[in-house]
Amino acid sequence: MTVEETLPFADWLRLREPADAAARAEDLVDVVRPALAGDTPIRIHDLGSGTGSMSRWLAARLPGPQHWVLHDRDADLLARAAEGMAGVTAADGAPVTVSTRCGDLTRLTGADLADGALVTASALLDMLTVEEVERVVAACVDAGRPTLFAISVTGRVQLTPPDPLDPAVEAAFNDHQRRTVGGRRLLGPDAVAATAAAFARRGVPVRERPSPWRLGPDQADLAAEWFRGWLGAACAQRPELAGPARAYAERRLADAAAGRLTVQVDHRDLLAGG
C-alpha cells in the first residue's frame, strides 16, 4: 500500500467536505461574528482555500454582504473554489462575491490582509513549517484582524473495533506528518501548539476547541479513503510495516464496507483575537 493509491487531491477535498463541516467548532463563529459588525461588505481572506470548503461553510454562517479573497498556490484548485462559491449566500441571504489570488500564502504580509475583517483557513497548519507558521501569524497579527484556523490534526485517532496494529500505524503516520520535504520540516500534529504559541508571543489571546471527525457506517467511503491514506503514509514512513499492513488493510476495509468500523480523527480549531 502506498500514498499514491489514494484519490486525487481535489477529489479528496470534495469527499471530506461534509465531515469537515460537521466537525468545525461553531461556537468560535459565534465569538467572532460580533467583531465583524460595521464592515460592509465583510471582506474575508481564506488561506489555502483548496476547493473552497471553508468559504462555503462559513459564508452561510455570517451576515452579509461578503467578499471572499481565496488564496492558494494551485490555480486549478482556486478555479474550482471560485466555481463552487457560485450561488452561495450569507446567513441573511445577502450576496457573496469571490476573488482569487494565486501564490505562496506563507509570504503574505499584514498589508496583504489588512483590508479584511477576518482571516480563515482550514486543514492548513499541519502542512506548514515552524518558520512558515511564524510568518503567517505575523501577517495576521500585523493586519489586526481576528483569525480562525479550523480542522488541524492532533495526531490522535481511534478506530473501533481496535486492532493491535493501530498504535504502530498511528505513530508512523505522525512521524510522516513531521517529515522533511524539499528542505521543509513539516509541523504535522505539532502545528496547533506552535501556532497558539506564536500568537501568544505577540500578545494575541487564543481560544481552542476540539473538532473531531466522527465517521460511522454512513460515512464508510470517507472512512475507507482516509484509512488508505493514513496507512499508506505510515508504510511510506516505516517500510517494515508493509508486510503486516496487507492483512491489516484487508480487515479494516472489510469492516468499513460492512459498516462495522467507526473512526474518530481528532482535530483542533483555533481563534486568535476576536
- In DSSP terms, 269 is beta-bridged to 209
The arithmetic mean of pLDDT across residues 221-236, rounded, is 96
| DSSP H stretches of helix in the chain | 9-23, 26-32, 53-59, 75-84, 110-113, 130-143, 166-177, 191-201, 220-237, 242-257
Portion of the chain with pLDDT greater than 70, in percent:
97
Determine contact, residues 121/149, Cβ cutoff 8 Å. Answer: yes
- The residues near 71 (Cβ < 8 Å, ≥ 6 apart) are 45, 46, 47, 48, 49, 100, 101, 103, 105, 108
Question: In angstroms, what CA-CA distances link 15 with 8, 20, 170, 207?
Answer: 11, 10, 22, 28
- Residue 7: per-residue pLDDT: 83
CA pair distance 220, 218, nearest whole angstrom: 6
- Residue 274: per-residue pLDDT: 76
Centroid of chain to Cα 185? 18
Determine contact, residues 51/80, Cβ cutoff 8 Å. Answer: yes
Q: Has residue 2 got a pLDDT over 80?
A: no
Measured over the CA atoms of residue 28, residue 267, residue 193 and residue 45, the dihedral's sign is negative
- Residue 5: per-residue pLDDT: 46
- Residue 186: per-residue pLDDT: 98
Task: Check: pTM over 0.75? Answer yes or no.
Answer: yes
Q: Has residue 6 got a pLDDT over 70?
A: no
Query: What pLDDT, in 10s, does the model give residues 24-76?
Result: 999 999 999 988 877 688 999 999 999 999 999 999 999 989 999 999 999 99
Query: What pLDDT, in 10s, does the model give residues 111-136?
Result: 999 999 999 999 999 999 999 999 99
Q: Any idea which residue has 480563515 for its cell? A: 120
CA pair distance 70, 263, nearest whole angstrom: 31
CA pair distance 37, 55, nearest whole angstrom: 18
Query: What pLDDT, in 10s, does the model give residues 171-217?
Result: 999 999 999 999 999 999 999 999 999 999 999 999 999 999 999 99
Neighbours of 146 (CB within 10 A): 21
What is the average pLDDT score of the chain?
95
pLDDT category of residue 23 using cuts at 50, 70 and 90:
very high
- Residue 36: per-residue pLDDT: 86
